[in-house]
Chains A and B, each alone.
Chain A
């Protein structure tokens, strides 16, 4: 069991707990000791509170002992990106400005996990305030990619993806605003799902870009993704932007997905495959995947998403504008770090924020403030919201010709830590993931291949229409069952 821990899914572990082969306390102890071993190399966690974890595990064992488990998953550990509130725990958002902040309430997703008895296992590292694609923007330290610790795990949910990939936890919840669940999942060889906007409540998720953010599961396989989606999704009176409850169980969809993809029309957006900078190895893996999908009976359809090249620009205007307002509350007044030396209110604000925020966050706040400022609203923000309409329409049109869209997740595999320093260059790598957030649709990133020379994983993306999680989960599951590489287990060196 100990040796297989890094291969176990939520469902696997659930079976063991139900059969009585292991208790939650034993299970969590195993994960804790594995985490202790991995962390010096991986640094996926900002905090692991051993006592609290074992306390929750013990409570779970008691419930199970009395025959009253809260669910099949009672007692299973799951980690949270340090941007999701859990009462009594830290919520630094990877930033110094919230170093001292202690959550006073549970996010709705946290509550839903607790209601099913899951054990909250640690706080994952992330790019500061979810702004970044590499986890290098964390104010604390950079998380390493378990496949190659000289490389980034991706971001902003880099800690979550690395933790699951390295077998420190079976699953994690991250957040995705422009690809921040899907991209690190691809870099780390795990599954990452971005639900339809409004599917999962954002109450308790520290906001980056309110009209783009969604919490998404990061798991070892597609079924776990569906299982978690069932648990965390649903209408929430505390979040006005949530959708009505899904009438279907996503786990059941995955269970009934069948063996092949006959009848499925898969759209291949020509703009995606024309991208300058699409690594040839990635292209090769992606082409291989297309062949595999065809062999499973899917029909490839050429589609066009003509406004692809404008999506990144639109995203960075909208996201930074919303972020500039969302992050205004971090001012050292009511919580978080207040600067030591201030003579007046203006200095209190400016210095607390100046000292507390990192460079990338400052950059985005400045950009967001600028695009909303007097005289520029029409030229930037309003324009970007119109381009957003065009991006959304592109998808709506494409989905008339196909059921789901297929694409790479990233133009390159995981890059070296420190490898990209130009902010714009970093932004351009979001090309495959960002449009989905603008449109509000759903998408899932699934590991497809491992590059021979670098031994780095390559992910592929299935994009669905709004409310189309059933479609993308189904195709992801069938692909996962039939892909050539069965397991994606990094060999973390020096363990």
Chain B
């Protein structure tokens, strides 16, 4: 990679808000419904229809802004952005032009980048966050397209970053941090496959040290964070090569072809699109007094960083554990719900991190769909703590819980998995094992301490796995030493 150039990257992220209804009408905000069944005169741009804004969408946008340290202005308004396109029912989009809901924020990035290299810890500036309505969905056929207006009118937040990003790793980290914040704030689900989060990249190169930015190239059709990463890496090389040969860049929009791993020309931007913005006459401005803004601030949830610190301090978890548990709010919530029901947060954390997340990943479901609940997992851990089951048995119980959602106590009872802790009972098994394996006794007495495991195995076999391992070891040692 050439060191002659500075890379300047800005990201434009569109996020669908998680609301029950659309932005300007009461149609359901839902993915995957039958085409054109969640529509009405308003979102289909019928004559005489009028928009009415969704209050929750406005609030969620402001909370998103607060979570990104944005300034929330007292006066805000909607504007009409005119352009003709079949996915825009009115041939104008209700958006925000010069007075958006949030301005001048930032997103902190740190740690390791997607490529594995360490990131420069820094703040990426957020220029603005504004609220608008999403476009309809077009499906392409041979030489025509079909439009489904279900998606049209869904509340959409546009987050514009400052051109502070300089590498693919930084872009990836910014997107990850942003997604985490949005999910934490219960603002959006950010499922890129469902179109709930979209990202466009603006990238340019300039000779190192020069103040003036180079020609901006826009990258579109990036369907995952990984695609963003790959596209940026590719584009930096492509642009550098052109500049090296003395060529120059034209302002253009390029698409990313994920299969081929290349960007391709979509269209050149000879002139900026004339959107003819003007204030939306059908909507009144939005005015928040300072007190209103303070009230809204109370709804801002605990940020990921703060939550992580709390887990480390309050529950003596390691940074790594806290990091994994807070990577998604749903996992953190799961932990929070369970930790009040158990005396051993560390054990709970382990089970979530090593077992639950793995099982969920294998089954390809989210923690929200898990049949194991914080309560049931905590109960299972208490069974371990009370030595009713061993850690090993717990694995069986856990598996069953994951499959069936049954309570651990019920599973233990049904399968007769109660651990045997009665030493007199265990002693019988130990005596039997010793009696049946004289040569191993000899080996042990001869100094081969490792043979202990053999005896433990034998006792476990005789007790059908139910003997408490610590007691077994203790008794064997007593008898043989």
A and B interact: yes
Chain A positions within 8 Å of B, measured between CB atoms, are: 84-85, 91, 93, 98, 101, 104-105, 107, 202-207, 209-211, 237-241, 321-322, 324-325, 328-331, 333-335, 345, 349, 369, 372-374, 377, 381
Q: Is the CB of A237 within 8 A of B47?
A: no
Residues of B within 8 A of A324 (CB): 82, 276
Q: What are 21 residue pairs bridging A and B, where the CB atoms are less than 8 Å apart in the complex?
A: A84-B48, A91-B47, A105-B41, A204-B48, A207-B50, A209-B281, A210-B281, A211-B281, A324-B82, A324-B276, A325-B82, A325-B90, A325-B278, A328-B82, A328-B91, A331-B84, A333-B147, A372-B278, A373-B276, A377-B276, A377-B277
* Contacting residues, chain A, for B272 (C-beta < 8 A): 374
Evaluate contact between B47 and A98: CB separation under 8 angstroms.
yes
Checking A240, A334, A377 against B284 with a beta-carbon cut-off of 8 angstroms, the contacting residue is A240
Chain B 49-72, CB within 8 Å of chain A: the 1/0 string? 111110000000000000000000
Collect the chain B residues with CB atoms within 8 Å of residue A204's CB.
Answer: 48-49
Interface residue B234 (Cβ < 8 Å from any Cβ of A): no
Within 8 Å CB of A331, what residues of B? 84, 91
Q: Is residue B237 contacting chain A, with contact meaning CB distance below 8 A?
A: no
Binding site for A on B (CB under 8 A): 41, 44-53, 80, 82, 84, 86, 89-92, 147, 272, 274, 276-278, 281-284
How many angstroms from the CA of A381 to the CA of B86 in the assembled complex?
A: 27
Whole-angstrom distance between the Cβ of A318 and the nearest chain B Cβ: 9
Bound: A18/B83 CA distance, A? 54
* Cα separation A374 to B274 with both chains bound (whole Å): 6
Complex Cα distance, B41 from A345, in Å, reads 23
Give the Cβ gap from A5 to chain B, nearest Cβ, in Å: 31
B51: chain A residues within 8 A (beta carbon): 240
Best-buried of B44, B48, B89, B276 by chain A (most CB within 10 Å):
B48
Instruction: Provide the bound-state CA to CA distance between A154 and B48, in Å.
Output: 23
Verify B282–A210 contact, CB threshold 8 A. yes
Query: Which of A104, A237, A325, A334 interacts with B52 by CB under 8 Å?
Result: A237
Give B345 Cβ to nearest chain A Cβ, in Å: 49
Name the A residues within 8 Å of B52 (CB-CB).
237-240
Selected from B80, B86, B282, the residue in CB contact (under 8 A) with A241 is B282
Contact A240 B86 (CB under 8 A): no
* Least Cβ–Cβ distance between B402 and chain A, in angstroms: 47
| Neighbour of A104 across the interface among B41, B80, B82, CB < 8 A | B41
**Contact status B48-A205, CB under 8 Å:** yes
Q: Decide: B276 and A369 in contact? CB cutoff 8 A.
A: yes
Whose C-beta in chain A lies nearest to the C-beta of B82?
A325
Q: Which of B48, B80, B284 contacts A206 (CB 8 A)?
A: B48
Contact (A325, B92) CB under 8 Å given A210-B282, A334-B45, A373-B276: yes
Q: Does A240 contact B53, Cβ atoms closer than 8 Å? A: yes
| 11 additional A-B residue pairs with CB within 8 Å, beyond A203-B48, A206-B47, A331-B84 | A202-B50, A203-B49, A210-B281, A322-B278, A322-B281, A329-B46, A329-B91, A334-B46, A369-B276, A372-B82, A374-B274
Q: Report A-chain residues with C-beta under 8 Å of the C-beta of B84.
A: 328, 331, 349
Asked if B92 and A85 sit within 8 Å, CB to CB, the answer is: no
Known contacts A328-B82, A374-B274; A240/B46 CB under 8 A: no
Given contacts A328-B84, A328-B90, whether A104 and B46 have CB atoms under 8 Å apart is yes
Q: Are A329 and B47 in contact (CB under 8 A)?
A: yes
Give every chain B residue within 8 A of A333 (Cβ-Cβ).
Answer: 86, 147
A241 to B86 Cα, complex, angstroms: 28
| Bound form: Cα–Cα A84–B44 in Å | 18
Contacts of A84 in B (CB 8 A): 48
In order of increasing CB-CB distance, the 5 nearest A-B pairs are A328-B91, A210-B281, A372-B276, A211-B281, A206-B47
A211 to B280 CA separation, bound complex (whole angstroms): 9
Known: A325-B92, A328-B90, A328-B91. A207 touches B48 (CB 8 A): yes
- A205 CA to B41 CA, complexed, in Å: 12
User: Which residue of B has the minimal Cβ distance to A321?
Assistant: B278
Shortest C-beta distance, A84 to chain B (Å), equals 8
Name A93's contact: one of B41, B47, B53, B274 (CB within 8 Å): B47
- Within the assembled complex, what's the spacing in Å between the Cα atoms of A334 and B80? 20
Q: Which residues of B contact A107 (CB under 8 A)?
A: 48
Once the chains bind, are A373 and B50 in contact (CB under 8 Å)? Answer: no
Residue of A nearest to B83 (CB): A328
Interfacial chain A residues near B147, Cβ < 8 Å: 333
Q: What is the CA–CA distance of A239 and B50 in the complex, to the nearest angstrom?
A: 6
Provided the pairs A211-B281, A241-B282, A372-B278 are in contact, do residues A325 and B46 lie with their beta carbons within 8 angstroms?
no
Q: Which has the most chain A C-beta neighbours within 10 Å: B47, B84, B90, B278?
A: B47
Find chain A residues with CB under 8 A from B283 CB: 240
**Chain B min CB distance to A175 (Å):** 11
Residue in chain B with minimal CB distance to A349: B84
**Once the chains bind, are B50 and A334 in contact (CB under 8 Å)?**
no
| Shortest Cβ distance from residue A155 to the other chain B in the assembled complex, whole angstroms | 19
Write out the residue numbers on chain B whose beta carbons fall within 8 Å of the beta carbon of A377.
276-278
Measured in the bound complex, the distance between the Cα atoms of B51 and A333 in whole Å is 20
Q: Assuming A104-B41, A377-B278, is B89 touching A329 (CB within 8 A)?
A: yes
A85: chain B residues at CB < 8 Å are: 47-48
A329/B284 contact (C-beta < 8 A), A101-B47, A202-B50, A335-B46 known: no
A113 to chain B, nearest CB (A): 15
Chain B residues with CB under 8 Å of A206's CB are 47-48
Closest residue to B90 on the A side, CB-wise?
Answer: A329
Residues of A contacting B45 in the complex (Cβ-Cβ under 8 angstroms): 329, 334
| Docked-complex contact B47 and A325, CB < 8 angstroms | no
Which residues of chain B are near A211, meaning CB under 8 Å?
A: 281
